[in-house]
Amino acid sequence: MDHYSELIPYSVLREWLQTTTKRLSARNQREMKLAVNRHCAKHRVMPSAEKKKIALKVQQCLLRILSFWREQYDDDALNLKELCCDQSLHIVGDQDVGFKPNSHRRTASNHGQTITIENDTESSSPSITTSNRNGNGKEEMDEDSEQRLHLNHAQIRRLNERSLRVYWDGLKSFGISLQSDYQELVEKLVLTEIKGIISYFYELLHGHGLSAEMAVKERKFMRLIPFSKVLYIVTDIYAMLVRQRATYNRWTVAMKPILEMIRQISWIYFKFDLHRISRESALYDVDEFEGKEMCFTKLFKRFLIHALKNGADLHLKFKDVLKKLVLREPFIWFLFEEEEFVENVLFRQITLSSVLQTEMARKLQAANVHKRAQWEARYAQQHKEEFKPKFTRFIRETLGIQNESDHSLLMDIPI
């Protein structure tokens, strides 16, 4: 608090500037303005020690993700007391293995106040209610003599996911200067952990081993990785690099791994249809299920458009971004389903060369053929509506292909 003695009250400063600057030259006015801004900025910056505390909390949330994968839910491995604000915690199990809602209800009363903690298997967070009553102060509890928060594995994961978002937003609010904070805070404590998580699951799921087959079969990894939160942090760091590249000399080196991390986590997300599954169930990506602005698909599309439009200024090659995030599977399958976005945003804001336009049309036509084959196998015998191909105009103008079903070329030949 010592530095407040150095500050000039704002109202006095404003009045002084109004009377003084009129007698100053334009050059002196600019110098005065810069001096005042530097003086104010010096006291607005949060101390590095405070930033590091919050960055360590972000790191702890990221480290818990791989602990969840190893099924390590003990307090020593996860440091759950800090996650639950030092409240006494009891882990009751995983909601996905047959726990009943009634088994999660705990009540405690003391000094006229009753606390009820109830965990619903369909909810990702406990319901906690309190009520006051006039009584004799008798203390009673179903099982324990002390008040404890009862959480199952799914609720612990959800609490960790929320904390990750809160701590990261808190770190951003402190004002991150990449010139001074990138290596010690952003790269060492945040990006390194994110890269480790993404690389681990990408290599596991990209292979063909037994563990990968079990992971896909049980959909276990889908419930463990907070996809939208992780992409939210990575794209935030990307935005910081874009905005502060004038003051951070190593921004080109820092930009290179960002594209690869986004490619790998997006490959996992779209390869296993998480964008479709999450819209139907809150067990996976909650942000996608709720359709938030910070959900995975919206963040991916924003990054894609920005990287394609500004790649030349950011040392990101246009062709590399297009091939890695558009033309390859499973990205082309996701974009095939987003016809409105591709036609109204991608094609209007991004100019493709004739070669890339032809390759894009070929990929979309191959997707039409593949999707129709799937439709025939699933719905043809159910008398549903006829399959309607997508991007027909773009494909027709680029390749000259007419998407027509049950049409004989013999009918086009004059007799």
Spatial distance between the Cα atoms of 140 and 145, rounded to a whole number of angstroms = 7
Per the structure, how many domains does the chain have?
Answer: 3
Flag whether 147 is in a domain: yes
Higher per-residue pLDDT: 411 or 316: 316
Residue 135 lies in a domain: yes
Query: Domain end: 99, 122, 154, which one?
Result: 154
- Write out pLDDT tens, residues 336-385: 999 999 999 999 999 988 999 999 999 998 988 888 888 777 766 666 66
Does 347 map to a domain? no
Q: Is residue 39 domain-resident?
A: no
Residue 299 is predicted with a pLDDT of 95
Could you tell me what percentage of the chain is helix, strand and coil, using 3-state DSSP and rounding each to the nearest 5?
Answer: 65, 5, 30
What does the DSSP assignment read for 226-245?
A: -HHHHHHHHHHHHHHHHHTT
Please indicate, yes or no, if residue 12 is contained in any of the structural domains. no
Question: Do 245 and 374 belong to one domain?
Answer: no
Residue 101 lies in a domain: yes
Q: What is the mean pLDDT of the chain?
A: 77
Tell me if 386 is assigned to some domain.
yes
In a domain, 370, yes or no: yes
Q: Are 72 and 192 part of one and the same domain?
A: no
SS (H, E, C) 11-68: HHHHHHHHHHHHHCCHHHHHHHHHHHHHHHHHHHCCCHHHHHHHHHHHHHHHHHHHHH
User: What was the pLDDT predicted at 76?
Assistant: 63
Are 67 and 77 in contact by the 8 Å Cβ rule? The answer is: yes
Indicate whether 150 and 191 sit together in one domain: no
Considering the domain architecture, whether residues 260 and 388 belong to the same structural domain is answered as no
**Shared domain check, 184 and 93:** no
Task: Kindly state whether residues 84 and 106 are assigned to the same domain.
Answer: yes
Mode of pairing for the β-strands spanning 89-93 and 105-110: unpaired
Q: Which domain holds residue 92?
A: 50-154
State whether 142 and 288 are in the same domain: no
How many angstroms from the chain centroid is the CA of residue 57? 17
| pTM of structure | 0.74
183 & 112 share domain: no
Order of strands, edge to edge, in the sheet holding 113-118?
127-132, 113-118, 105-110, 140-141
